[in-house]
Structure 1
Amino acid sequence: MSRTLVIKLTAGADEAERANQAFTVAATAVAAGASVSLWLTGEAVWFAVPGRAEAFELPYAAPLADLLAGVLAGGQLTACTQCVKRRDLTEADLLPGTRIAGAPAFTEEILADNAQAIVY
């Protein structure tokens, strides 16, 4: 039985290395065949808005847009309900395949059997 990797990213473009690390781990885990759920909270929710990942740059790092595409292709991308609302975003503002959910759903995921949670 495989474990689910639940990653919570709390940093946005202002903390580029931390943000990129979360996406790198998530995309690598998806590529390895793991079940992955990437949660975007705080300023990280902007990465779920079309064009934001493409504008992100970090020297020597894989393009964030490519990492995000990998997560969307094989994992689950979630934007925090309160964080989205605080930024006046709606589901229509987010990339297709992005869900909006809150603490109850996150708690359920991280407390599930065979789940591993990581917070960046």
Structure 2
Amino acid sequence: MIKATAGADGAERCNQAFTVAAAGVAAGVPVSLWLTGESAWYALPGRAKEFELPHATPLADLLQVVLKGGRVTICTQCAARRDIGQDDVIEGIRIAGAPTFVEEATTEGAQALVY
């Protein structure tokens, strides 16, 4: 479980969350990437392409890896504060809240990382 709490306001932390999530998928580890705070914007089509960080794999590419082999969730409250609805997000991304987060985080063997 990887929780991204930053967006362009904390570009290195944001990129690190997406990089670790994609690396986990590539390694065959079950990955759940949670987009919270400003990272919630990357659930919208085209937004990840706008993200820039020198010497980093493009965020859009990392997101595609996670979408293909893992799960991506945008926080319910974070989505609501930004007027983001299920019809607005990239196909394959779900909106879910604290009960789902707690369920995933407390699953036996789960490891949560927060960036």
Q: TM-score range by the shorter chain?
A: over 0.9
> Corresponding residue for 1:15?
10
Structure 2 residue 32 is matched with structure 1 residue 37: yes
Offset from partner CA, 1:64-103 (integer Å, 9 cap, x none): 1100000000000000001101111101110000000000
**Mapping of residues 12-91 of structure 1, within 5 Å:** 12-91=7-86
Unaligned runs of 5+ in 1: 1-5
Letter in 1 for 2:35: L
Root-mean-square deviation (Å): 0.5
Secondary structure of 1:116 counterpart = coil
Secondary structure of 1:39 counterpart = strand
Structure 2 residue 93 is matched with structure 1 residue 93: no
Identical-pair percentage:
65
Unaligned runs of 5+ in 2: none
Give TM-score, length-normalised by structure 1. 0.94
What is the alpha-carbon distance in structure 2 between the residues aligned to residue 13 and residue 54 of structure 1?
A: 12
What is the alpha-carbon distance in structure 2 between the residues aligned to residue 51 and residue 64 of structure 1?
A: 11
Q: Higher strand proportion, which one?
A: 1
Runs of 4+ deviating beyond 2 Å? none
Deviation at 1:110, TM superposition (A): 0.6
Query: Matched residue pairs, number?
Result: 115
